[in-house]
Amino acid sequence: MTPARATLASGVHLHYRVQGRPGAPWLVLINGLLADTTMWAGALKGLTGRHRVLTFDSRGQGRSDAPAEGPYPVSLLAEEAWELVQMLNIHHPWLAGLSNGSSIGLELLTAHPGAFRGAVLTSAVPWNDFAMALRLRHWLQCLELGGPGLLFDAAAPYLWGDAFLARRHPVLRDYFLRQKYMNEPFHGSRHQIHGVLGWDIRTKLSAIQDPVLVLAGAEDLLTPVWKCLETARRIPHARFEVIPAVGHAYPVEDPEGYAARVREFTII
């Protein structure tokens, strides 16, 4: 299916795309903070053979609208994701998210018990603590004072493992500067960052009864292993795995390995 745009009740337009085998179990992929659907490009080949896959840009991302009024709270992004799923008549899907996409996934699981088959959540923390807030405010200052180039330089060491970043740095930086921010307004990124500050879902996680796999990169400096482990411990019967030699963005760094892990878990 070619990319399309859905109009929500609020009037906001979300860019989305459906791919994969018709009739297969649904899988909804949820982007990380400041990302867009291109982050899933490498993993899609390994996912669309078994699943009917929905990718979409939340407000402020990619080709979706970025309303001037902000911030964009995580709960709002989750509500709009749910509205999109309902509009597309997607029933009982699996969820898979990265970082803030995992936060959105946790919001969905707690707000709509029984509506999902389960979830694979990568780099998932149960709250954005003081240290995270400091880091995100620094990134915001970099964007506002030095533009996307300075933002990339500040964020990159936290987003990818050492070997991957050293090997792919020119490509990653060029994409960030020439493609991503050529089309995205700065205020969309600003509202995304402000929207995650203070987010905390710790008290709700014990209500989740769906199967959940929490994945953490061994080299993740942004959402380190011990913070992701706290998420898994708060969700009844959740499974937790540490992925060696990977940083924060497992689906980007090792898309084939990521897709294989999602396929294995979603067989249950």
Query: What are 216-235's pLDDT values in tens digits?
Result: 999 999 999 999 999 999 99
- Could you tell me the two tokens for 126? 């149960």
Question: In which domain, by residue range, is 182 found?
Answer: 4-265
Domain count, the chain: 1
Residue 67 has pLDDT above 70, yes or no: yes
* 69-98: average pLDDT: 97
pLDDT score for 199:
98
Question: In the 8-state DSSP scheme, what is residue 175?
Answer: I
Contact 24, 52 (CB under 8 A): yes
pLDDT score for 178:
76
Q: What is the pLDDT of residues 90-131, one digit of tens each?
A: 999 999 999 999 999 999 999 999 999 999 999 999 999 999
Helices (H), 48-185: 74-87, 100-111, 130-159, 162-174, 181-183
pLDDT score for 147:
86
Residue 186 has pLDDT above 90, yes or no: no
User: 13: pLDDT confidence band, cut at 50, 70 and 90?
Assistant: very high
pLDDT top residue among 181 and 221 = 221
Q: What gap in Å lies between CA 240 and CA 147, rounded to an integer? A: 37
pLDDT score for 3:
82
CA torsion through residues 232, 116, 57, 72, sign: negative
Q: 194, 217, 204: which is closest to 126 by C-alpha?
A: 204
Per-residue burial over 135-173, b if 16 or more Cβ lie within 10 Å, else e, is bbeebbebbeeeebeebbebbeebbbbeebbeeeeeebe
On average, the pLDDT of the chain sits at 95
Q: What gap in Å lies between CA 123 and CA 64, rounded to an integer? A: 24
Residue 243 has pLDDT above 90, yes or no: yes
What secondary structure does DSSP assign to 223-255, as a single string? S-HHHHHHHHHHSTT-EEEEETT--S-HHHHSH
Contact 12, 65 (CB under 8 A): yes
pLDDT score for 47:
98
> What is the domain-level CATH number for residue 238?
3.40.50.1820
With 0-12 / 13-18 / 19 or more C-beta atoms within 10 angstroms meaning exposed / middle / buried, residue 80 is: buried
Whole-number Cα distances in Å, 234 to 19, 184, 205, 214: 33, 36, 6, 11
Question: In the 8-state DSSP scheme, what is residue 159?
Answer: H
* 7-30: average pLDDT: 97
pLDDT score for 177:
82
Residue 57 has pLDDT above 90, yes or no: yes
Note the pTM of the prediction, 2 decimals.
0.96
- One-letter amino acid identity for 141? Q
Cα atoms found within 13 Å of the Cα of residue 88, Cβ hemisphere only = 29
User: 2: pLDDT confidence band, cut at 50, 70 and 90?
Assistant: confident
Residue 268 has pLDDT above 70, yes or no: no
